[in-house]
Structure 1
Amino acid sequence: MKIILVTDIFGLTEPILSLQNMIQQTSFECVVIDPFNGVNRYFNREPLAYQAFMAECGHEHYCDLVKSKVEAANNPSVVIGFSAGASATWKALEKLNSEAVLHFIGFYPSQIRHHLSITPSCPVSFVFPVLETHFDVNEVIAGLAKKPFVMAVQTRYAHGFINFYSSAYNELASSQYINLLCSVELLSNPALMQAELTQLSIA
């Protein structure tokens, strides 16, 4: 089994590399997919990161990149996506072989509001923020709840709370969720991971 991290618009950052390293210290191989082909761009502000993301990658290309990288893994994978990376992975699920992804875990995937017709064939766990500027989080969660295999929960934290470079970063919450993502037992068991994500999100 392989773990695949799909980054947000900030791309490859030191915290992502740290998460990759922590996962690799378990029994799993871990690879990172990012929109800038492995180059750390060192964005210190979200508008700069978004501008570069849209100019150099964009949502559609990111989806295609995720699809090709997951297929190239040649190994059933647990995919963990953040923001734009979570949205890209959700869209890629529609095009991937049903056995390619063992479990997809997505944090604050705001773009999926445009792609709610997708019905995945693997376990999917979404962690949404307390609110989103452009849509009603509760409405999206209600729609997702009707789909088989999909679990969606809402935290009290803002969009980007795991990202050290985001204005919404929350050190305690980030640490708590990262601990779950580095657990061999939870990564190996989608149902158990979903239970723990739910418990932490409503705590």
Structure 2
Amino acid sequence: MKIINNSDSVIIVLHEIYGINQHIRMACEKFSTNGYDIICPNLIHVNQPFSYDLQEEAYRHFINNIGFYSATKQVKQLILEAKEKYNHVYLLGYSIGATIAWLCSNGENMCDGIIGYYGSRIRDYMNITPKCPALLIFPTEEKSFNVQELVDSLGKCNIDAFILNGKHGFSDPFSENYCAQSFEKAERLVSNFLKK
């Protein structure tokens, strides 16, 4: 998916395990109305996104058929192509997309910034130190790990990490975990980050 406004800045939007669904399309359109060009690659290589009730199946598909290494390689290639056309390249990822953005952040002169929403697997890659500004937004509640401990251990330069009220998916209006107040706070954080 691409939206071209002939901007000098592009946001590469990285979706969750579900693929390019309503939420991701809406996010792309919103950033497009702010004047950015948008590129949203299909990282899971399926024509139709998984529905939310197929979370386990979607996760298994990503882990077994794609994986973080392959997806990161694909996104890094996309960044290199984008850098030939754009003055500014940003990555914005949700969940696995946030972890992929994180994995791309330590390349020299790769991106101008990364934004990650609830990148829970970042905890598996704590050896990475971003070479660009990073905005990481986490929910207060995650089933599989202690969010506060992760955020405390991210105290490196270049990283702004925030914990907003809610669960994984709080910024997705189509998710049962949607939290309007946290969504709005996150929107302000992202807007301020992109203006820097």
Give the TM interval when normalised to the shorter protein. 0.7 to 0.9
Structure 1 residue 81 corresponds to structure 2 residue 88: no
Deviation at 1:40, TM superposition (A): 3.1
Q: Percent identity?
A: 24
Q: How many angstroms apart in 1 are the aligned matches of 2:102 and 2:122?
A: 7
**Aligned ranges 1:188-199 → 2 under 5 Å:** 188-189=195-196
Range with greater deviation from structure 2 (7-16 or 22-31): 22-31
Task: Report the 3-state secondary structure (helix = DSSP H, G, I; strand = E; otherwise coil) of the residue aligned with 2:90.
Answer: strand
Residues 152 and 110 from structure 1, CA distance in 2 versus in 1: closer, same or farther, beyond 3 angstroms? same
Give unmatched runs, 5+ long, in structure 2.
Answer: 1-8
Equivalence for 1:55: 64
Q: How many angstroms apart in 2 are the aligned matches of 1:152 and 1:186?
A: 12
Whichever residue aligns with residue 97 of structure 1, its letter is E
Residues 111 and 131 from structure 1, CA distance in 2 versus in 1: closer, same or farther, beyond 3 angstroms? same
Q: How many angstroms apart in 1 are the aligned matches of 2:42 and 2:183?
A: 20
Structure 1 residue 67 corresponds to structure 2 residue 79: no
Whichever residue aligns with residue 105 of structure 2, its letter is L
Equivalence for 1:187: 194
Deviation at 1:112, TM superposition (A): 0.9
Q: TM-score, normalised by structure 2?
A: 0.82
CA contact (8 A) 2:13 2:40 kept: yes
Q: How many angstroms apart in 2 are the aligned matches of 1:27 and 1:165?
A: 24
Structure 1 residue 9 corresponds to structure 2 residue 20: no
Give unmatched runs, 5+ long, in structure 1.
Answer: 190-203
Q: Tell me which of 103, 123, 131 is aligned to 2:141.
A: 131
How many residues align? The count is 184
Residues 19 and 168 from structure 1, CA distance in 2 versus in 1: closer, same or farther, beyond 3 angstroms? same
Deviation at 1:132, TM superposition (A): 2.1
Task: Report the 3-state secondary structure (helix = DSSP H, G, I; strand = E; otherwise coil) of the residue aligned with 1:156.
Answer: strand
Residues 177 and 152 from structure 1, CA distance in 2 versus in 1: closer, same or farther, beyond 3 angstroms? closer
Equivalence for 1:122: 132
Residues 180 and 155 from structure 1, CA distance in 2 versus in 1: closer, same or farther, beyond 3 angstroms? closer
Q: How many angstroms apart in 1 are the aligned matches of 2:174 and 2:64?
A: 20
Task: Report the 3-state secondary structure (helix = DSSP H, G, I; strand = E; otherwise coil) of the residue aligned with 1:24.
Answer: helix
Equivalence for 1:196: none
Equivalence for 2:31: 23
CA contact (8 A) 2:12 2:40 kept: yes
Deviation at 1:20, TM superposition (A): 1.2
Residues 48 and 23 from structure 1, CA distance in 2 versus in 1: closer, same or farther, beyond 3 angstroms? same
Structure (1/2) with the larger strand percentage: 2
Whichever residue aligns with residue 89 of structure 1, its letter is A
Q: TM-score, normalised by structure 1?
A: 0.80
Equivalence for 2:4: none
Equivalence for 1:169: 178
Task: Report the 3-state secondary structure (helix = DSSP H, G, I; strand = E; otherwise coil) of the residue aligned with 2:70.
Answer: helix
